[in-house]
Chain A
Amino acid sequence: MGNLAENLMEELQCETVFSIGGIGISESVVVTWIIMAVVLIACLLATRRLKVENPGRGQLLLEFAVSWIQNLCGGFIGEEGKRYAPYLTSVLIYLGIANLIGILGFKPPTKDLNVTAALAIMSIVLIQYAGIHKKGVKGWLKSFTEPVAIVAPINILELVIKPLSLCMRLFGNVLGAFVIMKLIESVMPVFLPVVFSAYFDLFDGLIQAYVFVFLTGLFIKEAIE
């Protein structure tokens, strides 16, 4: 078991792969770049030769996928928040790929606390921006005192709690799944990991990406109401 504890500590630490001008580039950033490159190339390849009249099979499939994911994300925030749907869509695609990339042997970037923290901070900034954009600075400040003035400290505390919970939820889930998989592998390395990997790697990763985007959408909807 001592070996396992050391292994886990090693996995928790985020290694610096190389550095540019004194700024360390960690492994999760490199994996994120790989994901970005793959998604970008996939987008460029998929959107080549699009036609308005009699589209091909590939285009129909693409249109179906795009409208499905847009409806999914647009459904969270409703008609009023349509302009924030592209952000949610991109986060959903990124998180989905990031949580699944462990299957290909890469280290999932979401296992690095800094990545989930950055995503959560982006989310809370967007949520507050949505509130300011909708209500103006005055209305936004006033929204802290709703429903009654006495809950204002709790509302201000929520500014910290919301991103913290978003960040910890994602990080804890990915790390927890990873730890449990390691434990199962050490108990029985043959058949059992395959079964559990289907749940922990595939299902749980996608569900958590969905939950992250759903909660962000919910908070935005709350902010612009």
Chain B
Amino acid sequence: MSTMIAIGAAIAVLTGIGAGIGIGIATSKATEAVARQPEADGKITKILLLGAALAEATAIYGFVVALLIIILLG
């Protein structure tokens, strides 16, 4: 039983993949944008941080779900 719970929690944490890809794409685009327009640096950084924090949320949901699985079932 505990093995199944561990596997379930591990599957829930796979949401991190999406957040990783999302933040990667956002950062690559931000780098391009800064290379094209270095003077808009501050604004781009602000938007990038915000976007990264929003993209990170999916990973956080996965983490919370995994934690709930372990706590409620384990």
Contacts from A to B (Cβ < 8 Å): 9, 12, 165, 168-169, 171-173, 175-176, 207-208, 210-211, 214
Contacts and interface: CB of A to CB of B under 8 A. Distances in A.
Contact of A211 (B50, B67, B71): B50
A168 B53 CA distance: 13
Contacts of A172: 57, 60-61, 63-64
Contacts of B50: 210-211, 214
Interface string B36-62: 000000000000011001101100110
A108 to B, nearest CB: 16
A136 to B, nearest CB: 32
Interface of B is mostly: helix
Contacts of B64: 168, 171-172, 175
27 contacts: A9-B71, A12-B71, A165-B57, A165-B61, A168-B60, A168-B61, A169-B57, A169-B60, A171-B64, A172-B57, A172-B60, A172-B61, A172-B64, A173-B56, A173-B60, A175-B63, A175-B64, A175-B67, A176-B60, A176-B63, A207-B49, A207-B53, A208-B53, A210-B53, A211-B50, A211-B53, A211-B54
Contacts of A171: 64
B72 to A, nearest CB: 12
Interface of A is mostly: helix
Nearest to B52: A207
Contacts of B71: 9, 12
Interface of B: 49-50, 53-54, 56-57, 60-61, 63-64, 67, 71
Contacts of A211: 50, 53-54
Contacts of A176: 60, 63
A165 B64 CA distance: 11
Contacts of B54: 211
A175 B64 CA distance: 9
B5 to A, nearest CB: 12
Contacts of B56: 173
Contacts of B63: 172, 175-176
Nearest to B57: A169
Contacts of A210: 50, 53
Contacts of A175: 63-64, 67
Contacts of B61: 165, 168-169, 172
Contacts of A173: 56, 60
B69 to A, nearest CB: 14
A165 B50 CA distance: 16
A11 to B, nearest CB: 12
B61 to A, nearest CB: 6
A9 to B, nearest CB: 7
Nearest to B56: A173
